[in-house]
Amino acid sequence: MTQERLWQVLDPSWGDLHALSALLCSSAAAVGLLRWLGRRQVQQKMDEARRSRHLALERMEKAARRLKQENPGTQSSQILSLTMVELAEKLKEGSLSPESVLYSYMDKVGDTSSMAEMLQGSPTVGLPAANLLSHYVPSKQGVVGALVGMQSVTGVLGPMARDVDSLALCMKALLCQEMFQLDPTVPPIPFNDQVYSSSEPLRVGFYEGDGYFQPSPSMIRAVQLTRQLLQDAGHTLVPFAPPKIDYMVDELFTRGIFSDGAAHLVDCFKGDMVDPNLKSQYNTYRLPALLKRILAIILKPIYPRIARDLGALCGVG
């Protein structure tokens, strides 16, 4: 069937149609084979990384179990409930040994990783694990990672702490003069210890959504819970909406990055393979500016956000 279609397309003046069609079919098969081999190599590396992680977690679990057997009086839950300040004080006093703290946190890491395998399945043994908490996992339909094997929507920026004192200790270390000297483009706003240690009620602004990026239900619940706790503590909470987020994302960010209409980025891909996960973006960048503007006009009544993004991809001028 494929060769018959090729015979209809090929010009007889080019030579033997049977040989040309066979050559084209073999070339297409070779390209398909190379793509399959590339994906297989990536999958093998991912499986090796998972097996290495699984072995490391097993060693950590054995070490933590051995510590519990050798020191039956060690309570991991009490150690994990301590703040960083209290933990440092007990280590200085000698009431806690560094080994007990280390193995307690190793045990916690093992429990967390076991829960992650329950959520995602166990690829190391080739059998899916019991997915007990699948209804808590948000849908990733339509979300594609930038690279094969890369997870999407899993990163969190910023420090995380067990309590406010530990977070304040981290911010004091980060917002110091030495850190600002490393990057002069960051405004030198040091940690205000006077405001932190003051007992006067604060006036705090908050928002649950900026009107552009849809927050997850867990993020909304976290903001609402924090707002309620601050209000119960006597602070004043003021709702506000960040101004012109769509203008910032489309006109300043996207149009600023692709000021040349993504021409330089497309040139960088010439003569090279394009990752399948990037093909949709690459094909959009390759469209002529006139076609992008026409598509933006057509899509504006139905998909205004996509229309604005296409208009921004036209660049400046």
* Domain annotation covers residue 176: yes
* Domain annotation covers residue 146: no
* Domain annotation covers residue 82: yes
| Tokens found for residue 236 | 């004043």
For residues 14 and 80, state if they share a domain: yes
- β-partners of residue 122 are 127
Mean pLDDT for 281-295 is 89
- Cβ-based burial of 167 (10 A; exposed 0-12, middle 13-18, buried ≥19): middle
**pTM of the full predicted structure?**
0.44
Place of tokens 């602070």: 235
Can you say whether residue 261 is alpha, beta or left, with left for phi > 0 and alpha for psi between -120 and 50 degrees?
Answer: left
Q: What is the DSSP string of 233-253?
A: TT-EEEE---TTHHHIIIIII
Q: Which residue range forms the structural domain that includes residue 277?
A: 245-313
Q: Which of 106, 126, 146 is the last residue of a domain?
A: 126
Residue 247 and residue 244: Cα distance in Å, rounded? 5
Residue 206 has pLDDT above 90, yes or no: yes
Which among 71, 88, 101, 75 is positioned nearest to 165, based on CA atoms? 88
* Domain annotation covers residue 66: yes
Confidence of residue 4 (pLDDT cuts 50, 70, 90): low
More confident residue, 187 or 25: 187
Residue 312 and residue 293: Cα distance in Å, rounded? 9
Residue 156 pLDDT: 55
For residues 188 and 299, state if they share a domain: no
Residue 111 pLDDT: 59
CB 105 within 8 A of CB 99: no
For residues 1 and 93, state if they share a domain: yes
Which among 11, 29, 32 is positioned nearest to 20, based on CA atoms? 11
For residues 17 and 121, state if they share a domain: yes
Residue 130 has pLDDT above 70, yes or no: no
Residue 234 and residue 202: Cα distance in Å, rounded? 8
pLDDT digits (tens, 9 = 90+) for 149-194: 555 555 556 777 788 888 888 888 888 888 888 887 878 888 888 8
Confidence of residue 270 (pLDDT cuts 50, 70, 90): confident
72-99 b/e (C-beta count within 10 Å ≥ 16 → b): eebebeebeebbeeebeeeeeeeebeee
* Domain annotation covers residue 143: no
Amino acid, res. 265: L
Residue 137 pLDDT: 39
Give the total number of structural domains in the chain: 3
Distance of CA 175 to the CA centre of its chain: 25
Residue 138 pLDDT: 43
Mean pLDDT for 141-154 is 56
Mean pLDDT for 210-222 is 86
Residue 36 pLDDT: 59
The sign of the torsion formed by the CA atoms of 148, 152, 157, 159 equals negative
For residues 87 and 21, state if they share a domain: yes
For residues 284 and 190, state if they share a domain: no
Crossing angle for the helix pair 98-120 and 17-70, nearest 10 degrees? 140
Mean pLDDT of all residues belonging to the chain = 74
Helix/strand/coil for 90: helix
Confidence of residue 73 (pLDDT cuts 50, 70, 90): low
